[in-house]
Structure 1
Amino acid sequence: MKCPQCVYTNPDGVKFCLSCGEKFVKNNTQEDDNSLFYEFAHYVDMVPRVERSIEPKFQNIFSRVFKNHSELEAERLFIVGTALTTPKITEVKETWPKPWLFARVFIFALLAFTGLYIGVDYFKNVNFIPGLIIVGAFAVPLTTLIFFWEMNAPQNIAFYRIIYIVFIGGILSMLVALVFFNILRHNINPITIGIVEELAKAITVITFVRYRKYRYILNGLLIGAAVGAGFAAFETAGYALRALMSGDAQNLYITILWRGVLAPGGHVAWAALTGAAFCRVQGDQPFRIGMLVKFKFLRVFMLVILMHALWDTPILGMFPLGQIFLTISSWVVVFLLIRAGLKEIGNKKLFANYGPSN
């Protein structure tokens, strides 16, 4: 069904154009089983679109964090990625998004953690302990993942798919790492730990992104961040349980606190970089094993392994100053790959509009 106003091709049965909002004349002979969904999609789409910024300056990227936002704006974010709501590449903006929802998610998680902390520490109720560990382990990785979700300009991955990757990808990557650790059980050191864990996450990330449906650099960042978030959260929950079993409640809180503070620069960012580097190499091509030895992929993957090895190195000053420095370094590379991903979208738009001859 082509819109007479903007010539956008809509799915059959819609009452409004999903691009411009033009109302169609209803065909009485046609059943509109999805009318409620399309009315909702049209209503949500009336929310002003997120402002964009070309310059990757922090004051531009995070300028919407402290502004008021309606529930409709959040709802609009969560309906993207389906067959009916994924925009065409020509409709995707290649300018810098301005994420804000991740900050709200962090506040909600912090409030939940505070309530659980009061239940454990003040009321001495052990029933709150599992919730304290789970919320504490997932709070920051999930917040960081929502940031990558908002930065995924193509908006072609449904949120339920991301949650699936968090749990299945996180568990799968940990199991693969355990297999490698079992093979290298007599040679465990910071270097082998970095190699094993990053290789396990890389295998898992590539398993999800090797299909050409997720062919953008920003897709690789998001899916990699989902795998890394699952890995980081499950690992933190394990360390928190060990701290609890030691009999020192303060050790439990300290473990959750520091692993939460440093989570954005660890597994989440590293797996995101790996995913983005692989998607940058694969592009629109079918998966080939030779892609894994391409320099564009290997240089990022080796950098991730090096950062992980340094992170675990027990040298004086590495915790926390060295890890904070590594976190900043990781995010410098993340923003460079986000810029490369937005540039990739611009190039694909030009190709789609003008064809290969131009």
Structure 2
Amino acid sequence: MNCPHCGYVNPERVKSCLDCGYNSSSSDTTEERNSLFYEFASFVDTIPRGERSVEPKFRNIFSRVFRKHGELEAERLFIVGTALTTPKIQEVKETWPKPWLFARVFLFALLAYLGLYLGVSLFQNVNFIPGLIIVGAFAVPFTTLIFFWEMNAPQNIAIYRIVYVVFIGGILSMLVALVFFDILKNNINPITIGVSEELAKAVTVIFFVRKLKYKYILNGLLLGAAVGAGFAAFETAGYALRGLISGNFHTLYATILWRSLLAPGGHVAWAGLSGAAFCMIQGDKKFEWNLLIKPKFLRIFILVVLMHALWDTPITDIFPFGQLFLMAASWILVFRMIRKGLKEISEKKWRFNFYPFEPSS
């Protein structure tokens, strides 16, 4: 069953294409297919993909969130990134992905959290408290991470690797940050906090992306987001536990709620930007320490540190929705980095098409 839209071979009885989401049941009539629109679409398909625009169309990015998706579509997503399922560079699409699984993950996490909340508040059962803290701390950071994973167009990182980086990278980055705090001792302020935590996450991200296997900008963005998600979740769990120890359940719930609402624009986005910036300057070269002083990397890293410092200062309380403004700024940078990542793939595909006998990059 070849998809009439993209040519992908789907299993039988699949209504929507597992690759592009095209629904054959809502296909147009023969007369419409012979219209000027379809002629124009066919003409566009003849244009070399390296010359197509990869500019974002925000109304289309989330167009598949509210569609009905089967288990086969989810299963196909979860098997990407292995040696057998990673596409070659010439097979990677440089158009904007349309993620949808992250919304389902959030719903599942929300249902789990509500069940744990009822167990604690309604039945007064303390056995539900650890699960409440863990699920509440990980729900939004992990959901945001799944969004980054779906946006990873090269599809060369398996989900098990992402989970590994979340836990190991999150813990490692927190330990490195504690080392920096111990060195600073009494010189703790929003600036030093921003430098220490972002430097700790950047060092951890570089440890994971230094191998040439993860050489794309989108790879750095994803693995950085994984480290940031682990950092954010463990930090939230710690603050929630402090609220519980104080004997105030209101503080426990408020901590989980507000930190979850702000999580997408904090550690997850910041670490993702640092990882993407490093992959952008490393490219196909082997890791060297002098890469860290390249202006392209330093500009992004310093901007991330400044946003983190502003986040922790009382200044954000002076003007309305200060942290929401910083969240929006972070995601503007994230989408700009995704665009650069897609353009990078387009350029590599163009180079492969014209120089197929060069070593694959």
TM-score, with length taken from structure 1: 0.86
Aligned residue pairs total 321
C-alpha distance in structure 2 between counterparts of 1:311 and 1:318, whole Å: 12
Counting only pairs closer than 5 Å after superposition, residues 109-258 of structure 1 correspond to structure 2 as: 109-258=109-258
Equivalent residue number for residue 300 of structure 2: 300
C-alpha distance in structure 2 between counterparts of 1:209 and 1:272, whole Å: 12
Equivalent residue number for residue 335 of structure 2: 335
SS at match of 1:153: coil
1:105 lines up with 2:105 in the alignment: yes
Q: 1:224 to 1:353 in 2, by over 3 A?
A: same
SS at match of 1:182: helix
TM-score, with length taken from structure 2: 0.85
SS at match of 1:130: helix
Q: Give the letter aligned to residue 275 of structure 1.
A: G
> What's the CA shift string for 1:63-104, capped at 9, x where partnerless?
110110001000000100000000000000000000000000
Equivalent residue number for residue 263 of structure 1: 263
- Structure 1 unaligned segments of length 5 or more: list them: 1-18, 23-39
SS at match of 2:321: helix
C-alpha distance in structure 1 between counterparts of 2:55 and 2:169, whole Å: 33
Identity of matched residues, %:
73
Contact 1:142/1:229, CA 8 A, preserved across alignment: yes
Correspondence for 1:50 among 6, 9, 20: 20
C-alpha distance in structure 1 between counterparts of 2:242 and 2:319, whole Å: 20
C-alpha distance in structure 2 between counterparts of 1:290 and 1:125, whole Å: 55
Equivalent residue number for residue 61 of structure 1: 61
> What's the CA shift string for 1:279-328, capped at 9, x where partnerless?
00000000111110001100000000000000000236269711110000
Contact 1:205/1:275, CA 8 A, preserved across alignment: yes
SS at match of 2:314: coil
Contact 1:51/1:98, CA 8 A, preserved across alignment: no
> What's the CA shift string for 1:323-347, capped at 9, x where partnerless?
1100000000000000000000000
Q: Give the letter aligned to residue 181 of structure 1.
A: F
SS at match of 1:94: coil
Q: Give the letter aligned to residue 83 of structure 2.
A: A
C-alpha distance in structure 2 between counterparts of 1:320 and 1:102, whole Å: 29
How many Å apart are 1:246 and its aligned residue? 1.0
Q: 1:20 to 1:112 in 2, by over 3 A?
A: closer
C-alpha distance in structure 2 between counterparts of 1:353 and 1:347, whole Å: 10
How many Å apart are 1:357 and its aligned residue? 11
C-alpha distance in structure 2 between counterparts of 1:76 and 1:125, whole Å: 39
How many Å apart are 1:58 and its aligned residue? 2.2
